[in-house]
Structure 1
Amino acid sequence: MGRAPRGIRNNNPGNIRHGADWKGLAEDQLDDDFCTFVDPQHGVRAMGRTLLTYERKHGINTVEGIVNRWAPPVENDTDSYVEHVAQRVGVDVDEVIRVADHLEDLVAVIIVHENGVNPYDPEVIMEGCQLARV
C-alpha cells in the first residue's frame, strides 16, 4: 500500500494552509505549508468553518464561488473542480445554496478532490461538520 496523501497524513483533508489559530491543531506542526490537526474531525471542522464563513462573511453561496475561493485557478484546474463538486452535491454550478444545508456533501467531495480519496466514514465527516456549526 502506498503512502497516504499529505492531507490525510496531516488530518487536514482540505489542505488548509497555516495562518489561523484553529481549534484542534496538533502541538507539533511538521509540515511547513499545511496545518496538522490532532484528528480528522478537527481537520473537517476547519473545512466546514471556512465554507460557512465564505457564505456568512463574503456572501459566497454557489459551488462556483466556493470552489473558486477554495482552489483558485492560479493553482488548480478550477473549472473541472467546480463541475465535479456541483455534480456530487447535486446542484448547478451557479445555483444559490444554503451552505449549511450541503456542508457534509461539500466537505466530502472537496476531500476527494484534494486527496484523490476520502478514507473517512460518514460519521467522521458528520462529527467534524457538527463541530463547525457551533
Structure 2
Amino acid sequence: MPLVLFGIALFFIFITPLAENNQSVQNVLNSVKGMISRPNRNNNPGNLMYAGQRGAIGKDEQGFAVFDTVDSGWAALYRQIQLDAGRGFDLKGFINKYAPPSANDTNAYLQFLIDQIGINANTLLSQINVTALAEAIAKFEGFIG
C-alpha cells in the first residue's frame, strides 16, 4: 500500500505539472523512471533476469524480469536461492552465477553479503537463512520497501 501512495504522490507532484507544461507523457514517464530504482519499478527486489518465473509478466529493455506484484518478485528470489542451495552452491559460487563478474563487481557484492549476514564466502547456501540472504541481496540491488 505505501508504494501505491508513493506512486500517487509522484503523479501529482511531478507528472501533473510537467504535463501541464505540454511535455509528452513519454518524456514525463522517462523523467520519473530515473527516480525509481529498477527493482522497485519491476517489482523485482532481487533484480532477477527474466527466465519465465511464476508471477513474471515480462522483461524490461535490459532483460530483467518484471513481476505482477512485489510479493511475486520476492517469491522468485526465494525460489532462486532455494534452487541454488539444492544444487550445492556456496555463497561465492552463488554470487558468481547470480551476478557474473562480466557484468558486476562480484567481489564487492560478495563482501557486502558477508558483512550483512555475518558469514563467510564458503558457507553453503543451505546453511544460510534464506530471508536474511534475500533481504541483503535486495538491499544491494537498491530495492526500497
Common fold: TM-score over 0.5: yes
Shift of 1:19: 2.3
Q: Percent identity?
A: 27
Structure 1 residue 12 and structure 2 residue 41: aligned?
A: no
- Give 1:81-92 correspondences, 5 Å limit: 81-92=109-120
Higher gyration radius (CA)? 2
Map of 1:49 onto structure 2: 79
Q: Distance in 2 between matches of 1:45 and 1:53?
A: 12
Higher helix residue share = 2
Q: Distance in 1 between matches of 2:125 and 2:49?
A: 26
Map of 1:93 onto structure 2: 121
- Equivalent residue of 1:98, what SS? helix
Give the partner amino acid of 2:84.
Y
Map of 2:60 onto structure 1: 31
Q: Distance in 1 between matches of 2:54 and 2:104?
A: 27
Higher RCO, 1 or 2 (CA under 8 Å, sep at least 6)? Answer: 1
TM-score (norm 2): 0.69
- Equivalent residue of 1:36, what SS? strand
Structure 1 residue 111 and structure 2 residue 138: aligned?
A: yes
2:56–2:68 CA contact under 8 A, matched in 1:
yes
Higher strand residue share = 2
- Number of corresponding residues: 112
Q: Distance in 2 between matches of 1:81 and 1:37?
A: 23
Q: Distance in 2 between matches of 1:95 and 1:13?
A: 23
Q: Distance in 1 between matches of 2:101 and 2:91?
A: 14
Q: Distance in 2 between matches of 1:103 and 1:46?
A: 12
Shift of 1:98: 2.1
Shift of 1:76: 0.8
Shift of 1:97: 4.6
- Equivalent residue of 1:23, what SS? coil
Runs of 4 or more off by more than 4 Å in structure 1?
none
2:88–2:124 CA contact under 8 A, matched in 1:
no
Name structure 1 gaps, 5 residues minimum: 121-134
